[in-house]
Amino acid sequence: MKVKICGLTRPEDVAAAAKAGADYLGFIFFPPSPRFISPDQAGDLMRGAPDGVAKVAVTVDPDDELIDQLRALPVDVLQLHGRESPERVSELKRRTGLPVIKALGIREAADLDQIDRYAPVADQLLLDSKPPKEATRPGGNALSFDWRLLSNRTWPLPWLLSGGLTAENIAEAIRITGATQLDLSSAVESAPGIKDHVKIRRFIETARSPTLSQ
């Protein structure tokens, strides 16, 4: 089971997530998010992360100026969480030379059709709940979708489950979806952008509990 702790803003939280065993560390470059950080801030945080933990730059419809700024950082993976077309995904993958996670919003069965469009161009997918119409950001809204939509489904590339995951519901989420990678942010916070180190450790320990694979 791999875990991505997203929305990191402080060096002590980076250290705590890595120590707890996170496989991915997510840094958000989207100003409307309360977890937004600048490229300069992110550079310091990324350089403080231990080797072996993937540093993910989370973007929403990034322009070329931001992409060029990110290319100067020790980024391992680019996450695209906006309305990027498959063509734009391919372009950014070539431009950065980075593997790409494409996030897709899911609310109903028809939303799964878009997976076929992005599977040929992305390296991984992130299946998140589609945000409410009034939402100001496409993810990080602490909402889950109907996990039964993913039951007994397989795709030709790795994927992460996101949206409303907590230590209390991940057993059910894994049982229904068969997910082997989990992404979360607000569930392990004491305030937006401020991670709770105990919650991080508890979530990862629970996600990797042997009982979940029985």
Please identify every residue annotated as catalytic.
6, 128
Q: Which residues pair with 54 in a beta bridge?
A: 24
Tokens of 62: 């990034």
**Distance, C-alpha 53 to centroid of its chain:** 14
Tokens of 145: 């979708």
Looking from the CA of 71 toward its CB, the CA atoms found within 13 Å total 13
Query: Vertex 96, ends 92 and 101: CA angle to 5°?
Result: 60
**Listed residue (73, 64, 72) closest to 27, CA to CA:** 73
Query: Kind of pairing, strands 54-59 and 194-195?
Result: unpaired
Say if CB 47 and CB 69 are below 8 A apart: no
